[in-house]
Amino acid sequence: MAAKRSGAQSKRSQRKNVKLPSVQEPPLSLERIVATAVELLDAQGIDGLTMRRLADRLGAGAMSLYWHVDNKETVFDLALDSVLEYRGPQQTGESQDWRADVVHMLEGWRASMLRHPWSASLLPRRALGPNILSRLELLSRTLSGAGVADADLNAAIWSLWNYVIGATITRANFDRSDDDMTAAQQRLAGLSEHYPTIERSRLLLDNDWDGTFRKGLDFLLDGLALGTGRDAAGRNP
């Protein structure tokens, strides 16, 4: 009976010598599976990812995937976490401008997810992978180093995290909805009648998403600095 790799902790055992010199399809591997899954998700969206389609793209049979992966759920987990990989300085020391650091960090986070809009929809249902945890760790370290009181630290971390998640999801959702402009148009036609304030503020129409994100983040950081007794260093006028 085949033992079937389960925990996914052991690397794929590499053969000593790869024989065939010009193989068309390289062998399956966890890395290739995840990378191709991301491609497929980018191209076709969440419903476009199918085990059979994924295997086709890899030049393999559908069931071959299951040697490397427990089930489809873990493909989603791995794809999501891979998209959130953070490449950048792991600055642990105190920066002169912690606030700019945080803004930069969170904007990069948001950008990573908007580059793969499906990731925002996926995040709510999936576990925290190592890359997500790394980003949390970095955020945590930065805030801690910035002098946020221990009693406020968790609330600070979570509020920033939540804000980024929510803003990204909202934004990604609007991108998607704008695909079918006709529905949007006719929906907005009846808005002014029932939702006058929304209509007047043009909340749903020509929003500057990047600017809005930044502005809300500034609100949050202002309150945070105020709450922890530090002045809001580096706030732009």
Partner DNA sequence: GGTTGACTCGTACGGTGTACGATGCGAGTG
Partner DNA sequence: CACTCGCATCGTACACCGTACGAGTCAACC
- Which residue, 10 or 22, is less far from its own copies as judged by CB? 10
CA angle 58, 59, 60 (to 5 degrees): 90
Number of CB atoms found within 10 A of residue 233's CB: 13
Interacting residues with DNA (CB under 7 A): 2-3, 5, 12-13, 15-17, 19, 27-28, 49-53, 55, 60-64, 66-68, 71-73
Q: Which is nearer to DNA, 27 or 227 (CB)?
A: 27
Q: Which does 28 bind (CB under 5 to 8 A by kind): its own copies, DNA, none?
A: DNA
- For residue 172, give both structure tokens: 């990604």
Taking CB within 5 to 8 Å according to partner kind, which of its own copies, DNA, none is near residue 43? none
Least gap, CB of 195 to its own copies (angstroms): 4
Give the list of residues 6+ apart from residue 124 with CB closer than 8 angstroms, or none: 169
Q: How many CB atoms lie within 10 A of CB 84?
A: 21
| Rounded least distance, CB 15 to its own copies, Å | 30
Burial category of 136 from C-beta neighbours within 10 Å (exposed 0-12, middle 13-18, buried 19 and up) = middle
Assess contact for 213 and 167: CB atoms under 8 A.
yes
Give the number of C-alpha atoms closer than 13 A to the C-alpha of residue 149, restricted to the C-beta side. 9
CB of 54 to its own copies, least distance (A): 19
**Residue 57's binding partner out of its own copies, DNA, none, with CB under 5 to 8 Å set by partner kind:** none
Q: Minimum distance from CB of 49 to its own copies (Å)?
A: 14
Tally the C-alpha atoms within 13 A of residue 191's C-alpha that lie toward its C-beta: 16
Choice between 15 and 200, CB closer to DNA? 15
Q: Which residues bind its own copies (CB under 8 A)?
A: 46, 120-121, 123-128, 130, 133-134, 136-137, 140-141, 144, 150, 152-159, 161-167, 169-170, 172-173, 176-177, 183, 187, 191, 194-198, 201-204, 207, 211-212, 215-224, 226-227
DSSP 62: G
